[in-house]
């Protein structure tokens, strides 16, 4: 039993429901609440994901509405994550005798 799995998508611009196999387009966009275009095709960020649109026209209309993301180097994102973890775990700025023993 070879069944092809067709997934129903909803266009993130106009809301139309469609199957990607019949029509549609994919576009990689970044950001959570505030979506933006990646600066180039090689840009990889953890918050970038694929969005599905019902047509190329919807892709073009969405791109006109949103701005290009600010390029943040990978090392800067990495250092920001280290800082967040240190702050959340109360390790940042603490001396060895001030750390909580588990």
| HEC assignment per residue over 11-55 | CCCCCCEEECCCCCEEEEEECCCCCEECCCCCCCCCCCEEEEECC
What local confidence, expressed as pLDDT, does residue 68 receive?
Answer: 81
Q: pLDDT per residue over 49-79, tens digit each? A: 888 888 888 888 888 888 887 777 778 888 8
Q: Are the C-beta atoms of residues 35 and 69 closer than 8 Å to each other?
A: no
- What average pLDDT score do residues 29-56 get? 81
Copy the structure tokens of residue 48. 């970038």
């Amino acid at each position: 039993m070879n069944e092809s799995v067709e997934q129903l998508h909803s266009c993130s611009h106009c809301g139309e429901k469609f199957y990607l196999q019949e029509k549609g387009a994919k576009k990689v966009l970044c950001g959570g609440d505030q979506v933006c275009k990646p600066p180039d095709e090689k840009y990889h960020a953890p918050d970038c994901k694929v969005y599905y649109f019902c047509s190329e026209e919807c892709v073009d209309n969405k791109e006109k509405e949103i701005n290009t993301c600010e390029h943040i180097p990978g090392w800067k994102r990495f250092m920001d994550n280290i800082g967040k973890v240190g702050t959340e775990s109360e390790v940042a700025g603490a001396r060895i005798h001030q750390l909580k023993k588990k």
